[in-house]
């Protein structure tokens, strides 16, 4: 099985789906001849032509809005937002339109759209090339949201998103593009949307997370094991719908839960995960639910000390895991 970078797995998913279904096409800024500012769509134009790998005017609401129209006709567009920081002009199209098309038409129309958007910091991108906007879209019924961490999931979830009959936001982590690699089958497979995945089994604490922070969590878990603490690590993979059964099973495994994400703490995904656990199994817990998240500031600064302070890392994660283990 070939080992592949996260970004190459994303590209492969698009290539395979475009080969399988001529209605699948990619549109966005710089996706064509340049192959994307991160090279995510590199080579696709050569293979599929400029009509199916469409360089658009710089206007995010149109990129999503036009994709919605094409999707309602029966196409399967993959709309790229260059950075998730720049997707807010398209928010009305995503929340008022894509998310509600099936519902408001009483199932007469549908919107099989994928919106890919790179999230996350740690690249000296400053306030507007580093954000994690999951919480803005989270809690919008009608949308599905996925955020893969492994290269395997990046390919499988993107293929599932393309085939999904409803709009899916695919939050890919730009720091993971080259940092994360792993075994990715070259055959056709999908990772079902809505299923969390246990990355590591353990008995002392449960850590629930998604996207880049899992990289730090897995490193920390490795170190903690040599210190006699074993961590059970759950990768949510899908943020909407959340895998409620998977979350509860993981929490029950140890009775001690730490939720970690880079998006800021207040009103984040962790709040909902925490509430699910509290509603269903409060008296089975051996410690208060803990959260380790980005600080509640508007976004991370570009100066290195400031960015480092905002970002999670192995040491911060390890400290929080240890604190919970010792509770």
Partner 1 sequence: MTQSESAVTQSRHAALGLTDEQAIEMYKLMNTARKYDERCLILQRAGKIKFHVSGIGQEAAQVGAAFALDRDQDYYLPYYRDYAFVLSVGMTLRELMLCLFSKIDDPNSGGRQMPGHFGSKRLRIVTGSSPVTTQVPHAVGFALAAKMKKKNFVSFVTFGDGSSNQGDFHEGANFAGVHKLPVIFMCENNQYAISVPLHKQVSGKIADRALGYGFPGVAVDGNDPLEVYRVMKEARQRAANGEGPTLVEAVMYRLSPHSTSDEDLAYRTKEEVDAHRDKDGIPKYKQYLIDCGIWDEEREAVMQHEIKAALDDATSFGDKAPFPAPEDILKHVYADDAAQGEGGR
Binding status of residue 226 toward partner 1 by CB under 8 A? no
- In this complex, which beta carbon is closest to partner 1, that of residue 131 or of residue 238? 238
List the beta bridge partners of residue 231: 205
Strands 53-55 and 290-294: unpaired
What minimum distance in Å lies between the beta carbon of 104 and partner 1?
Answer: 6
- In this complex, which beta carbon is closest to partner 1, that of residue 25 or of residue 86? 25
DSSP-derived secondary structure for 305-324: HHHHHHS--HHHHHHHHHHH
Helix (H, G, I), strand (E, B) or coil at 199: strand
Q: Which of 129, 215, 232, 261 is catalytic?
A: 129
H helices within 259-313, ranges in order? 269-281, 304-310
Other C-beta atoms within 10 Å of 97: how many? 21
Instruction: From 152-160, 180-188, 239-247, 313-321, give the range in contact with partner 1 by CB under 8 A.
Output: 239-247
What minimum distance in Å lies between the beta carbon of 30 and partner 1?
Answer: 15
Within positions 55 to 114, which residues make up the interface with partner 1, using CB under 8 A? 56-57, 59, 61-62, 64-75, 77, 89, 92-93, 96-97, 100-110
Closest-CA residue to 117 (of 13, 191, 188, 40): 40
- In this complex, which beta carbon is closest to partner 1, that of residue 97 or of residue 263? 97
Strands 76-80 and 24-28: parallel
Strands 181-183 and 3-5: antiparallel
Side by side, the strands of the sheet bearing 257-264 are 197-200, 231-235, 205-209, 257-264, 290-294
Within positions 17 to 56, which residues make up the interface with partner 1, using CB under 8 A? 25, 51-52, 56
Helix (H, G, I), strand (E, B) or coil at 264: strand
Per-residue x/- track, 122-161, partner 1 (CB under 8 A): -------------------xx-x-----------------
> Residue 124 and residue 109: Cα distance in Å, rounded?
42
- In this complex, which beta carbon is closest to partner 1, that of residue 67 or of residue 325? 67
- In this complex, which beta carbon is closest to partner 1, that of residue 101 or of residue 207? 101
Residue 215 bears catalytic tag: no
Tell me how many residues contact partner 1 (CB under 8 A): 47
Given a contact cutoff of 8 angstroms between Cβ atoms, the answer to whether 51 and 102 are in contact is no
Catalytically annotated residues? 129
Residues at the site binding partner 1, with contacts judged by CB under 8 A: 25, 51-52, 56-57, 59, 61-62, 64-75, 77, 89, 92-93, 96-97, 100-110, 141-142, 144, 165-166, 193-194, 241-242, 244
């Amino acid at each position: 099985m070939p080992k592949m970078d996260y970004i190459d797995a994303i590209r492969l998913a698009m290539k395979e789906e475009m080969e399988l279904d001529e209605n699948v096409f990619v549109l966005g800024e710089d996706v064509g001849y340049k192959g994307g500012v991160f090279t995510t769509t590199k080579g696709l134009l050569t293979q599929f032509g400029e009509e199916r790998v469409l360089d658009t005017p710089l206007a995010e609401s149109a990129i999503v809005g036009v994709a919605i129209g094409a999707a309602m006709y029966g196409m399967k567009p993959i709309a790229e937002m260059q950075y998730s920081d720049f997707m807010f002009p398209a928010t009305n199209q995503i929340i008022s339109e894509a998310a509600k098309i099936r519902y408001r038409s009483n199932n007469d129309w549908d919107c099989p759209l994928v919106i890919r958007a790179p999230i996350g910091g740690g690249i000296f991108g400053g306030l507007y090339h580093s954000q994690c906007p999951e919480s803005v879209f989270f809690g919008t019924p009608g949308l599905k949201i996925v955020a893969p961490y492994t290269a395997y999931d990046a390919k499988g979830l993107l293929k599932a998103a393309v085939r999904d009959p409803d709009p899916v936001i695919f939050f890919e982590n730009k720091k993971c593009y080259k940092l994360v690699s792993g075994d990715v089958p070259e055959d056709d497979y999908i990772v079902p949307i809505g299923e969390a995945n246990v990355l590591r089994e353990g008995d002392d604490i449960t850590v629930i997370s998604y996207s880049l922070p899992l990289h730090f969590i897995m490193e920390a878990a490795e170190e903690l094991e040599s210190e006699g603490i074993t961590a059970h690590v759950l990768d949510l993979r899908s943020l909407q719908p959340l895998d409620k059964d998977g979350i509860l099973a993981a929490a029950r495994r140890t009775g001690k839960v730490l939720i970690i994400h880079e998006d800021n703490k207040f009103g984040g995904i962790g709040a909902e995960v925490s509430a699910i656990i509290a509603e269903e199994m409060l008296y089975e817990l051996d410690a208060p639910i803990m959260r380790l998240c980005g600080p509640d500031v508007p976004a991370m600064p570009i100066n290195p000390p400031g960015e480092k302070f905002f970002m999670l890392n192995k040491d911060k994660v390890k400290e929080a895991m240890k604190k919970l283990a010792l509770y």
